[in-house]
Structures are given as structure tokens and as C-alpha cells.
Amino acid sequence: MSLTFTHLGTGSRGNATLVESGDAKVLIDQGFSGKQLETRLARMEINPTEIDAIVLTHHHGDHGGGASIAQRRWNIPIFCNDRTATALNLDLKGVQLFESLEALNFADDLALLPVPVPHSGADNVAFIASHRGERGAVITDLGSWTDELVTHVAGCQHISIEANYDHNRLWNGPYPRRLKDRIAGRGGHLSNDQTGQFLSQVVDKNTRSLVLTHLSEKNNAPHIAESSVLYHIDEMFEGDIQISLQDGPEFSHHIGQTESERVARRGLTLRG
């Protein structure tokens, strides 16, 4: 058995990531319309009613904007912190509030640990998924990071993390100065270089896969994000790197597999 990470799409127009173990299916964020969520899950032959829970990183519309529709339409339980529930005006009957660093146990083979990250005007968290002793991280929307985050992400087999903007493209690009300052600030988003610097503190030979997410369509490009990040970790990273764009799902990553399971499953990797 293994734990599978599949981004249904990432970016400023919506985010959702499916984390799937043998016993549970949990969605991290629901920033899509009900129709979009249904369509994207259908590409994996999954019905929304099969989702056991939605956990939210923070309240921004591209992460939590589709939570209440999923709650109403399919009765999916929502897990989030107090600030996120309040900001999204969620019906608390279907909400389980969590505190940072309190593990959420969804099944014997899947727990998620929320770890706080700095992001302006939001109580944002990254999630560390645990599965039979192996771990994978999903980290998005942060302007900087803490030692605590480094501690929790170090040793993860899989890491999904935002690489939001290229520094030069942002500063030479069309955004007004105030918005540029906000994006690049401590509570904004990580640039490609910052993501590379963070990863250089946590990646080692055990890191099998990296996915760069939430790329700005105006201020970044996949080849720039990939080369900027690899520049920082080339020496220590021997795994696979992919980019998640706005329209997914495009691929899945597995942790906790034996070598033979990995080889057998490779042919099933989603494309397009």
C-alpha cells in the first residue's frame, strides 16, 4: 500500500490536492467550483461522495472558496482552523476545527499534521501527511518560513511546494508597486529562489519527488521555476521534479511503496 498525492490543479484560479491512502481520500483545499471539482475528480474516476474530508490551508478564495459548496452538495466534512472557518462563513455543523500541530487522524494509514506558515491576513498551514512511517508535505502560500517548518519537512519522501514568481519577472512586470511589495513580502508568496533556498535545507537523498505548485501565470514560467529551484538543490536531489499548473490532474506521486510496486504503478501515471 502507498500514499498518493495528486494535484487537481494549482494557481491563483483554484487549488485542490488529493491525498489518498488505502483507507482514506482527503482533499487538501477546495478552491474550485462544484462543477470543476466534479470534472477533475472524474478524470481519476472518483466521485465527490467518495471524499472522506476536505482540509483547508487558509481562507483565500483560491483555497477555500469551494468548501461550502462541497459541504452542501456532497455533505463532505470540512476540517480547518477557527480563523479560516470564520472568514469563509462556513456552516459549523459540518466543520471540525483544528489547532496547529494537532495531528488529524483520518485512518490507520493516514494522518495530517497542520504546521503554521506566514501568509498575510490568514492563519495558513502546511500539511505533513504520514503513512506507515513515511511522510509527504504539501506547502503553499507563504512569504517566508520558520525553523519549525524546516524540522517537519526534513526527511519527507515527497514535497509539494509553491514556486510562485520569478523575482525579475515580478519587478519588471505589469503589477502595481503595492501589489509587488505584498507578493514579495514576508506574508506573501515564495519566489523560485526562496523555494530553492528552503528546499536546500530539507531535501536529502531520501527525497524522491518534488512538485512545484501555484506558479504565477504573469510572473513565472515552468522552465524558469524548475531551473531556479534545481540550481539550489542539484547536489543533493536525486528524485523526480514536476510542475503542477492550473489545469490538472496531470500526474500522481506515491510514497511508502516497495520498489516493485513503484515499477508496476508507473504505467498508471495520469497524463494530460
Closest of 170, 183, 117, 134 to residue 19, by C-alpha: 134
Helix, strand or coil for residue 202? helix
- Contact between residue 142 and residue 118 where contact means Cβ atoms under 8 Å apart: yes
What is the closest distance, in whole angstroms, from the C-beta atom of residue 144 to Zn ion in the complex? 14
SS3 75: coil
Measured from the CB atom, the residue of 134 and 141 that comes closer to Zn ion is 141
User: Is 162 among the residues that bind Zn ion (CB under 5 A)?
Assistant: no
Angle between helix axes 34-42 and 67-74 (nearest 10 degrees) is 70
Which of these segments, 40-48, 56-64, 95-103, 231-239, binds Zn ion (CB under 5 A)?
56-64
When CB distances to Zn ion are compared, the closest residue is: 60
Return the beta strands (E) in 83-222 as ranges.
Answer: 95-97, 104-107, 110-117, 124-131, 134-139, 158-162, 209-213
Do the beta carbons of residue 28 and residue 110 sit within 8 Å? Answer: no
**59 or 232: CB nearest Zn ion:** 59
Q: Which is nearer to Zn ion, 14 or 136 (CB)?
A: 14
- Binding residue for Zn ion, selected from 62, 123, 226, 250, defined by CB under 5 A: 62
Least distance between Zn ion and beta carbon 187 (Å): 9
Q: What residues between 216 and 255 interact with Zn ion by CB under 5 A? A: none
Q: How many residues bind Zn ion (CB under 5 A)?
A: 3
Nearest of 11, 41, 42 to residue 27 by alpha carbon: 41
Can you tell me which of 40, 60, 135, 180 binds Zn ion, judged by CB under 5 A? 60
Considering only residues 126 through 145, tell me which ones interact with Zn ion, judged by CB under 5 A.
141
* DSSP-derived pairing of the beta strands 16-20 and 3-9: antiparallel
Q: Exposed, middle or buried: residue 245 (CB in 10 Å: 0-12, 13-18, 19+)?
A: middle
Least Å distance, CB 63 to Zn ion, is 6
Q: Which stretch binds Zn ion (CB under 5 A): 48-56, 58-66, 150-158, 170-178?
A: 58-66
For residue 57, count CB atoms less than 10 angstroms from its CB and return exposed for 0-12, middle for 13-18, buried for 19 or more. buried
CB of 188 to Zn ion, least distance (A): 9
Is residue 249 reached through a cis peptide bond, with omega within 30 degrees of 0 on the bond before it?
Answer: yes
C-beta of 155 vs 187, nearer to Zn ion:
187
Residue 132 CB, nearest approach to Zn ion (Å):
30
Q: Nearest approach, Cβ of 62 to Zn ion (angstroms)?
A: 4
**Residues at the interface with Zn ion (CB under 5 A):** 60, 62, 141
